[in-house]
Structure formats: structure tokens, C-alpha cells
Structure 1
Amino acid sequence: MKKLKIASLPGDGVGKEVVPAAQQVLKAVARLHGGLQFDFTDYPWSCEYFLEHDQMMPDDALDRLQDADAVFLGAVGNQKLVPDHISLWGMLIKIRREFEQVINVRPAKLLKGITSPLASPKDFDLLVVRENSEGEYSEVGGRIFRGEDEVAIQNAVFSRRGTERVMRYAFDLAAKRQKHVTSATKSNGIVHSMPFWDEVFQSVSRDYPAINTDSQHIDALAAFFVTQPQRFDVIVASNLFGDVLTDIGAAIMGSIGVAPAANINVNGKYPSMFEPVHGSAPDIVGKGIANPLGQIWTAKLMLDHFGEEELGEKLLDIIEDVTAAGILTPDLGGKYGTDDVTKAILKGINKL
């Protein structure tokens, strides 16, 4: 029996609604497998926890999470209770940084039965591999002076080690897919970090002669995501560029509520973390209409991470069967609730 310990962090808002739904799905998948078991430990850390304890997580939180095989996160954030920079840096980003989750992976795929906002979308199935630890989101910088002379400095930090690491990860994924990697750059406007990024990309690509490559400036690439998403396979991007591209990817799928993400630790020292992209969606909390597909697709990424790729593909096929049948939440133009979609997916699993 393969027993996997999962630290479950429902977090804020709809995270508390979609995480239990995805847990049901994972348990059903485990029963289908027969030799797989998920042991979930739930932690109540959230903005509500912050109001009571003046911190997003207890002091020993990372020690407790470190024993898990993976972290399964729902959502973080509630601006009415806690400013975003406190909630995110006190929980989500803290886990990412201190657990050395240096790679972020986010797929975008046109699922059957879901209407894309694109006028005439062709089938697309792409994967954005984002550097997750440095780049434009480094903590290096500061402010000097006050008033009209005030200056804010934010340094983008690109190490050769970090840049090469994310690129090799992207190439390795492309080798299992359509064998094409696109690099997101802006070397015509950002004169130090992006030419460096391009040089490392060219160097790494020589080690993968079977993989086709191209390089696109981020502004043009963002436009191509809207006009020609079907042309892409794997895209490798810096922290900021990857963040922007993946939200566009979620949008062209039809709803940010569908989009999954994985934060990957590659050295094995700490657990990886899996989270949907949609955030806490405070406007629909408690209405029973939160879309569970992003969290359930995130569960599929977790299965892939544990080497259960065949199970993961079966789960994604079942998700598509459900969307093709028109069982959709309101964000996708449907009339069904969180429980309805979850039950339909469970029914599909049980049929197997």
C-alpha cells in the first residue's frame, strides 16, 4: 500500500468549499487504484486565524508541514480582514520560498463543453513553466527619501542556477509532450536580465537537440495566447512573465475557476504544494456555487507528481466528460453547484 500524507490547507473563502470536494475525489481515485491511500491532515490557517493569533500560521507551521508528502492548498486572502501583502507573504509565499518550491507549473487546456471567450478557439493544450523563487519577485530593493524626492527600487534577480534549472525542467516536460519549448523574454527592452535569460536558454537548448524552440517577447506572446494559443506546447518564463501568462491561460479556458497549479520542490528536501489559481472568491462564499474543477485538476497534478500519471489522465478525462455533459457552475455559464459537479466526477470515477 502506497500511503501518502497530505497537509491540507483549505485557507480562506471558497478554499473551504472546494478542498473537501477534491479530497473526496482523491479518496475515490485511491479506491480505484487499490494500492494507494491518502491521509489528510487539515490545518485551519487563514485570515481568520490571523485575526485571532496575529499571524497567518503558527511559529512551528513549517516544521509540521515538512513531514507531509505534499501540501494541498485551497486559497489565501481576504482583503476585508487582512491586507493581501500580509496574507500572501505570511502563508503562501512563505511556504513557497522556505520549502524551496522553485518551479511553478500551470496548464491551460480547452476542455470539452466549456465556452472560451475567444471568438473561434482552436484546441489548445499548453503548459507554462514559471521560475518561482527569484526574478522580478525578489525581495531585494527598498525606498529612500520622502515626499516628492521619494525613490522606490525593486531589483530583479536572475541567477544562472535558477534560470537554468527552470529551463531544464521545461525541456524535460516538453520531451514527454509535443517537443517544443517557447521562451518568454523581453530582451529588446530589459537590457540586463533578459539578454542573460536568452543566453542561458540558448545554452540549455543545445543539450536537447530533439526539442524545437523559439523565443517570443512577452508582449507579443501575451497577444498570441489570445489569438493563437494552439501553437504552443511548453512555455518557460520568469516569475513575473509566467504569472501574467498563466492568468491569460486561465481566462481563455473560460474561467479562472478551472485553472490548477503546482509549486514544485526539485531537491526532495521539502514537500511540493498544489493549489488552484482562482483565489478565495469572497463574493461567492457560502453560496454553494464555487467551481471545484480548479482544485480537482490540481489534485490531478499532485497525482502526476507522485508518479501516478495514468490515474491523473483518467481523472482529467472524467473532468472533461462532466464538462462535456454540461454540468457546469455559474462562472462557466452553467446552473449547477459545487456538490453537483463533485458528485458527477465521483460518479464517473465509480464507473471505472
Structure 2
Amino acid sequence: MNIYDIAVIPGDGIGKEVVPASLEVLNTVAEVHGGLKFNFTSYPWSCDYYLEHGKMMPDNGIQILQNYTAVFLGAVGDPQRVPDHVSLWGLLIKIRREFEQVINIRPAKYIKGIQSPLHSPNDFDLIVVRENSEGEYSEIGGRIHKGEDEVAIQGAVFTRKGTERAIRYGFKLAEQRKGRVTSATKSNGIVHSMPFWDDVFNEVRKDYPGIETSSCHIDALAAFFVTRPHTFDVIVASNLFGDILTDLGAAIMGSIGIAPAANININGKYPSMFEPVHGSAPDIVGKGIANPIGQIWTAKMMLDHLGEVEAGRKMLEVMESVIQDGIKTPDIGGTSSTTEVVQEICRRLKTL
């Protein structure tokens, strides 16, 4: 029996709706699969918690979480009551940084039953490996002077260690997939960090002679995501480029509400964290129509990370079949409630 202790943080808004729904699916998977058990412990850390306690999580929150197998997060943010930089840096980014979750991965694939904005989606199935700890999102820089002489300086930080581990992670992932890696670069315009990125990419690819490789400038790559996404397998990208590409990946799928993500710790010291791409969606809270697919697909990524690949595969297959049969929430063209979608996924899992 494989037993996994999972820390659950529903967070804000629809996170409090789709997370419990996804736990129901995970428990059903465990019941059907056999030899698999989850112990879920939920924590109320959120903007509500901040308004009550003046902080997004308790001072010992990181210590509480570090002994769990994984962290399963819903959504963070309530900008009408708590500024985004407070909520994100006080919870989401704090966990990412302190748990050394240096890789972010986000898949995008064509799912029948969801209308892609692309004229010819051609069954694309890609995944972006995003460097998650440095790059363009460093805190180095500042602002000086006022008025017309005001200056803002933002420093990007690319270390060989950080760059190589992200690129190498992408190659290892490609070995399990279709065997192609594309590097997102902009070395024709960013004269220091991107040529450095290219150099590391070219060095790493020598260790993987069986993998087909290419390098593409980020502006062209964004265009190719729209015009020929089916030609891509694994894309490795810096923090900023990966962030942009993954939101575009969600868009070409047809909804950000179905997009999953994982923040991966690769040294084994701390748990990884799994979260959907969608936000807290305060406009639909309490209406019972929040799309649970992004959170459920995120749960599938958590299963993969835990080594429960077969269980994850079954979950994804059932999820796709439910969508294809028209059982889906209004944001992707359906009329079903959150509960109805989850109940049908669980029902079909039990018939396997």
C-alpha cells in the first residue's frame, strides 16, 4: 500500500470549491486503483486568513508543510480586499522559493469537446518546462529619482546551475514523451543572458543524442504556438518566457480554467506543489459552476510525480471522455455544475 500525506490549501475563491471536488476524484482513484491511499490535511491559509491574522500563513507554516509528500493548492488572491503582491508573496511564492521548487511544468493539449480558438488545432500535446527560481523575475534592481529623470532598473539573473537543471529536466521529460525539445530564446535581442542560455542548451543536448532539438526566438515561438502547436513536444524556457508561453498554451486549449501546473522540487529536500493555472475567480464564487478540470488535471500531475503514472493516466482518460460527451461547465460551453462534472468523473472511474 502506497500511502501519501498531502497538505491541502484550498486558498481563495473557487479554490474552496474545486479543491474538495478534486479530493473526491483522488479518493475515487485510490479506491479503484488499489494499493493507493491519501491522507489529506487541509489548511485555511488564504486572504481570509490574512484579514484575520495579518499574514497569509502562520510564521511556522513552512515548517508545517515540509514533512508532507506534496502540497495541493487551489487558488490564491482576492484583490478587492488584499493586494496581489501581498497574497502571492505571502503564500504561493513563499512556498515556491523556500521549498526550492525550481521547475514549473505546464502541459497543453487539444481536448475534444472544448472549442479551441484555433482554426485547426491538430491534436497538439505539448509541455512547457519553465525555470522557476531566477531569470527575469529576480528581485535585483530598483528605482531612483523622480519626474522626468526617474529610472527603473530590473536585473535578470541566469546562473549556470539554474539554467542547466531546467534544460536537463526538459530533456529527461522528452525521453518519456515524443523525443523533441525546443529551446525558447531571444539571443538576437538580449545580448547577455540569452546567448548564455543558448550555450548551456547546446552543451546539455550533447548528452541526449537521441533527442531531436531546435531553438526558436520567443516571438516566433509564440506565433508558432498559434499556427502549428502540434509540432511541439517539450519546450524549455526561462522564467518570463515560460510564463508567457504557458498562458498562451492555456488559451489555445480553449480555457484557462482547464490548465494545470506543477512546481517541482528536484533535490528531494522538500515537497513539490501542485496548482491549477486559473485564479480565484471571485465573480463566480458560490454559483456552483466553477470548472474543476484544471484542479483535477493538476491532481493527475501530482499522481505522475508520485510515481502513480497508471492511476494518473486513467484519471486523464476519464476526464477527457466526460468532456467529450458534453458534461462540462458553462465556461467551456456546457451546462453542468461543478458537482455534476465531478460526480460523472467518479462514476466512470468506478466502472473501470
Once the two structures are TM-superposed, the CA of residue 62 in structure 1 deviates from its matched residue by 0.3
* Structure 1 counterpart of 2:66: 66
CA–CA distance in structure 2, aligned partners of residues 328 and 31 of structure 1: 24
Per-residue CA deviations over 1:219-254 (Å, capped at 9, x if unaligned) read 110011011000000000000000000001001111
Match of 1:10 in 2: 10
- The separation in 1 between residues aligned to 2:62 and 2:110, in whole angstroms, is 36
Indicate the residue corresponding to 1:43 in structure 2.
Answer: 43
Which position in structure 2 is the counterpart of 1:339?
Answer: 339
Once the two structures are superposed, residues 205-228 of structure 1 have per-residue CA deviations (whole angstroms, 9 ceiling, x without a partner) of 011000000001001100110110
Distance in 2, Cα, partners of 1:133 & 1:184: 17
What does residue 325 of structure 2 align with?
Answer: 325
Which amino acid is the alignment partner of residue 112 of structure 2?
K
Paired with 2:282 and 2:241, the residues of 1 have a C-alpha distance of 26
User: Helix, strand or coil: the match of 2:210?
Assistant: coil
Kept in 2, the 8 Å contact 1:275–1:298? The answer is: yes
* 2:125 is the counterpart of 1:143: no
Q: 1:140 Cα shift?
A: 1.1
Q: Is contact 1:96-1:102 (8 Å) kept?
A: yes
The answer as to whether partners of 1:327 and 1:334 remain within 8 angstroms in 2 is yes
Deviation digits for residues 301-332 of structure 1, max 9, x if unmatched?
00000101111111100011101101111110
Q: Which amino acid aligns with 2:258?
A: V
Give the 5 Å matches for 1:178-193: 178-193=178-193
Name the counterpart of 1:314.
314
Deviation of residue 86 (structure 1)? 0.9
Residue 285 (structure 2) aligns with: 285
SS of equivalent to 2:171: helix
Quote the residue 1:167 is aligned against. 167
Partner of 2:87: 87
Corresponding position of 1:222: 222
**Contact 1:5–1:69 (CA<8 Å) still a contact in 2?**
yes
Distance in structure 2 (CA, Å) of the matches to 1:111 and 1:25: 19
**Contact 1:48 1:81 (C-alpha < 8 Å) held by counterparts:** no
SS in 2 for 1:82: coil
Structure 2 residue aligned with 1:276: 276
8 Å contact 1:135–1:158 — kept in the other structure?
Answer: yes
* Aligned mates of 1:163, 1:27 — CA distance in 2: 37
Contact 1:117 1:254 in 2 (8 A): yes
User: After superposition, where does 1:180-259 map in structure 2 within 5 Å?
Assistant: 180-259=180-259
Measure the CA separation in 1 of the matches of 2:195 and 2:243: 20
Describe the SS at the equivalent of 1:24.
helix
Residue-pair matches, total: 352
Deviations 1:4-47 (A, max 9, x none): 11000000000000000000000111111221111111000111
Matched, 1:57 2:57: yes
CA contact (8 A) 1:168 1:204 kept: yes
Per the TM alignment, residue 164 of structure 1 is displaced from its structure 2 partner at its CA by: 0.3
Percentage of matched positions with identical amino acids = 71
* SS in structure 2 of the partner of residue 168 of structure 1: helix
**For each residue in 1:136-183, what CA deviation from the matched residue of structure 2 results, as whole angstroms up to 9, or x when unmatched?**
011111122223222111111000000000010000000111100000
Q: CA RMSD in A?
A: 0.7
Cα offset, 1:114, TM superposition: 1.2
Alpha-carbon offset, residue 258 of structure 1: 0.4
Question: What's the offset of the Cα at 1:347?
Answer: 0.7
CA contact (8 A) 1:303 1:312 kept: yes
Q: Contact 1:21 / 1:292 at 8 angstroms: preserved in 2? A: yes
| CA drift at 1:121 | 1.6
Q: Distance in 1 between matches of 2:106 and 2:177?
A: 15
Q: Which runs of 5+ in 2 are unaligned?
A: none
CA contact (8 A) 1:262 1:301 kept: yes
DSSP 3-state at the match of 1:6: strand
What is residue 349 of structure 1 aligned with on the other side? 349
**SS class of match (1:128):** strand
In 1: Cα distance, 2:48 partner to 2:42 partner: 15
Aligned to 2:113: 113
